[in-house]
Chain A
Amino acid sequence: AQSVTQLGSHVSVSEGALVLLRCNYSSSVPPYLFWYVQYPNQGLQLLLKYTSAATLVKGINGFEAEFKKSETSFHLTKPSAHMSDAAEYFCAVSDRAAGNKLTFGGGTRVLVKP
């Protein structure tokens, strides 16, 4: 079965600094990988996804992620953090064996300091 591990449940960055959120996956087949963001008291919304095309994926709000098969990683980055980036971020993998079932990581809360 697929699984996802997000390293660090909390990340604190200064406004303007690099945001790096780590995600490692486990999958017996080539995975489809996603990053979702959850703002306070809201549902999740898709930031970006990797579906076996380009390994560097660009998403909304200046975020991007790189799929590295050799490292089984799909880390999320943004060059310059903005106060509005404060949210919970979830990495997820699609389970091909179970009809579009998304397995989520435990989430990483991002705090942006002025």
Chain B
Amino acid sequence: DTAVSQTPKYLVTQMGNDKSIKCEQNLGHDTMYWYKQDSKKFLKIMFSYNNKELIINETVPNRFSPKSPDKAHLNLHINSLELGDSAVYFCASSQDLRLTGELFFGEGSRLTVL
């Protein structure tokens, strides 16, 4: 049983297309996140949701739109893809918003924009 699962694992697409990445967690956690890891392995938070409510929205282009239909799911939709969007996108969850909480990460979705 995978705790945090993301689909698809790999995405190859052309510039200008729209794509979505889905994330589901079966840990019963309240809080979910999207992180972006670039080619130099640098990790940066994009969004976080707590019980379907947006908590963190970093300086991310509005072409990126997260959606949380329920607290077990957090999807990421990207419009008008650009070359610079190529990265590995990680979904994560934590029990709640406590700062001491452990984050559980999915295996990542590698997006390649051609």
> A-side interface residues toward B, CB under 8 Å?
32, 36, 41-46, 49, 51, 88, 90, 94-96, 98-104, 106-107, 109
Contact = CB atoms under 8 A, between A and B. Distances in A.
A63 to B, nearest CB: 15
Given A49-B100, A94-B100, A41 B107 contact: yes
Nearest to B108: A43
Interface in B1-41: 4, 31, 40-41
Given A32-B99, A88-B41, A100-B31, A43 B105 contact: yes
Contact of B56 (A49, A94, A96, A98): A98
The 9 closest A-B pairs by CB, nearest first: A43-B105, A94-B99, A51-B100, A104-B43, A107-B41, A44-B105, A46-B102, A99-B55, A100-B97
Nearest to B105: A43
B105 A45 contact: yes
Q: Interface centre among B98, B100, B102, by most A CB within 10 Å?
A: B100
Contacts of A45: 104-105
Given A42-B108, A100-B55, A106-B40, 16 more contacts: A36-B103, A41-B107, A43-B90, A43-B105, A43-B106, A44-B43, A44-B90, A44-B105, A45-B104, A46-B102, A51-B100, A94-B100, A98-B56, A101-B48, A102-B45, A102-B103
Nearest to A108: B41
Interface in B80-97: 90, 92, 94, 97
Contacts of B97: 99-100
A96 B99 contact: yes
Nearest to B3: A43
